[in-house]
Structure 1
Amino acid sequence: MSATIADPRSARPTSRRGGNLEKWGWMYMRASGVLLVVLIFGHLFVNLMTGEGIHQIDFAFVAGKLASPFWQWWDVLMLWLALIHGANGMRTIVNDYVTHKTTRSVLVWAVWLAAGFLIVLGTLVVFTFDPCLGVTPESILWADCQAA
């Protein structure tokens, strides 16, 4: 009994029409990975290398950054790309190692739901951040928040 393996370069019949989800996922991982390297190193450079370095990072520094639309969009883009990149990686791992179809489907749905929830929550935090929310007269931020 002999088994023949088809030549990998030979034309394979395609049974599906439409887009190839795995191909687009693979392309997304490469593109988002390159963009994330730029975004993350830019984030680290601004936070750790400019000004007073790590000693400048406090509530006021973060509040100041989140008051700027540029940094809001920078952080949201980094958040979205990182979470989708990570969720797609987890989807690939689940597809590779989970053999039971129902379990695989449940886990993939759980990964995407968790990523979606964190994207929505993170985006809301970035765009609705108010450093004066809940500030009382005893707080050191009281004078700054009254001036605003």
Structure 2
Amino acid sequence: MTTTTSIAAPRSPRSPRRLRGRTNTELYAWLFMRVSGLLLIVLVFGHLFVNLMVGEGINALDFAFVAGKWADPFWQIWDLLMLWLAMIHGSNGMRTVINDYAERDQLRMWLKVGLYTAAAITIVLGTLVIFTFDPCPVEAAADLLPSFCPGA
């Protein structure tokens, strides 16, 4: 007597009709994670080195240090790249986690809407802070101002 055993089809979170129009989005997301991860290593360790090791180290970190640093467009772009890459890299990772663990389509959609909203707000506010930062505020105490400010 022969007994046949059948193996159940694996559970798929996507319906077959959604798979037909598939693009290489996941491949690009995977590549972005690798490239942005490498860039973030350089950006973060460069940021830590300049802020903590050069000059007086952590004792020099104050308003004047940040103001002087952000007065230079090079450091504005450096910090902007670090902000954007970190937020997009982290959001892409969270998107992957949501896709893997949120089983219902409606829940998955709302979690991603919340994720994308939070990431967009953080990126916009961070970008505004970097580019609208005033290193010489009028009401600041003179001893806190960087040396290049007129009242310092």
Give the TM bin, normalised by the shorter chain: 0.7 to 0.9
Structure 1 segment 115-126 matched on structure 2, within 5 A: 115-126=119-130
**Which sections of structure 2, spanning at least 5 residues, go unmatched?**
10-18
Matched, 1:90 2:86: no
Matched, 1:49 2:53: yes
Larger relative contact order, structure 1 or 2 (CA cutoff 8 Å, min sep 6): 2
Shift of 1:145: 4.4
For these two proteins, the number of residue pairs brought into alignment is 137
Aligned mates of 1:51, 1:24 — CA distance in 2:
40
Aligned mates of 1:112, 1:133 — CA distance in 2:
33
* 1:46-75: CA deviation from partner (whole Å, max 9, x where unpaired): 111110111111110000001000000000
| Identity among equivalent pairs (%) | 57
Shift of 1:101: 0.5
Shift of 1:135: 1.2
**Which sections of structure 1, spanning at least 5 residues, go unmatched?**
6-13
Aligned mates of 1:56, 1:145 — CA distance in 2:
18
**RMSD of aligned Cα (Å):** 2.3
Structure 1 segment 1-148 matched on structure 2, within 5 A: 1-3=5-7, 15-16=20-21, 19-135=23-139, 139-140=141-142, 141=144, 145-147=149-151
CA separation of 1:71 and 1:144: change in aligned 2, threshold 3 A: closer
Matched with 1:10 is none
**Residue pair 2:80, 2:130 contacting (<8 A) in 1 also:** yes
Aligned mates of 1:4, 1:116 — CA distance in 2:
42
